[in-house]
Amino acid sequence: MTDTPPYDVTGRGPVLLLVPGGAGHPMGLGPLTERLATRFTVVTYDPLGLAHGRLGAPVAEQRVADWSEGARRVLEEVLPAGASASVFGTSSGGIAVLDLLVRHPGRLAHVVAHEPPCVTVLPDGAARRAELIDQLDGPGRPPAEGDSATPTGVFLGRVLRPFTAYVPAAAPPPGRLTIAAGTGSRGQLLHRTAEFLAGRLGCACTEFPGGHLGTLDHPVEFADALTETLRSSARTSV
């Protein structure tokens, strides 16, 4: 696969690449994007093209490296020569942006990964991953392909298992990564994962409004927190 994956662009200002969670379908992110577009040129990446006519088509088991490579191609297409972008990913998108930063740091100003579910980094990670998969992937799972396919079905059938097994292969460049967890996730597995991962990678860990779905439940407050995090990182790097 060499073509640039689908993406949408809105707003004006410095480029901010968004990588949605789940199967990468940006459903429900409209209010968040609208708020961010007052400050950024928001590029919303759709790694599987589910919002661009490919929902229902056959989908192979996904690889984190393919999502990050697609994100790199999107950035190469939208960025002016010599410019860099901020990047935000949540959930499975958070895992993709971690990989993007390790593999392709050259065009990235700062990366924020919100509750990436790479739970195998934990000391008890294998057991926690098995519990997470059992919790999410139970009876009655929506289909991943065909006329009745849903983004959730694609996530559960093609993304959940490979992405939760991901472990960053290397530490990111210093000062270029923030791990975020939701205030509503305190005491839960993914908040614990975020804190542990930040310590392991030697990067900042901060809290954003809401829980794992804070991008949907608190879009304005979440967008403002993300904006402040990116502005603070820019001031620090000067």
Q: Percentage of residues in the chain with pLDDT exceeding 70?
A: 98
Q: CB of 90 within 8 A of CB of 222?
A: no
Residues in the chain: 238
Confidence check: pLDDT of 137 > 90 = no
pLDDT tens-digit map of 73-96: 999 999 999 999 999 999 999 999
pLDDT tens-digit map of 219-228: 999 999 999 9
pTM assigned to the model? 0.96
Q: CB of 154 within 8 A of CB of 23?
A: yes
Question: What is the residue whose two structure tokens read 């809401």?
Answer: 210
In angstroms, the CA 211 to CA 202 distance is: 23
Determine the average pLDDT of the residues in 121-146. Answer: 91
Q: Set out the domains of the chain in order of their start, with CATH numbers.
A: 7-233 (3.40.50.1820)
Q: Which helix (H) or strand (E) holds 160?
A: helix 160-164
Q: What's the 3-state SS for 52-104? A: HCCCCCCCCCCCHHHHHHHHHHHHHHHCCCCCCEEEEEECHHHHHHHHHHHHC
Instruction: Report the chain's mean pLDDT, rounded to a whole number.
Output: 95
Angle between helices 125-136 and 189-201 (to 10 degrees): 140
**Please, which pLDDT band fits residue 1 given cuts at 50, 70 and 90?**
very low
pLDDT tens-digit map of 18-73: 999 999 999 999 999 999 999 999 999 999 999 999 999 999 999 999 999 999 99
Determine the average pLDDT of the residues in 106-135. Answer: 96
Q: CB of 177 within 8 A of CB of 91?
A: no
Quick one: DSSP state of residue 218? S
pLDDT at 237: 67
Determine the average pLDDT of the residues in 96-103. Answer: 96
Helix (H, G, I), strand (E, B) or coil at 44: strand
**Please, which pLDDT band fits residue 238 given cuts at 50, 70 and 90?**
low
Confidence check: pLDDT of 135 > 60 = yes
pLDDT at 139: 73
Determine the average pLDDT of the residues in 141-151. Answer: 94
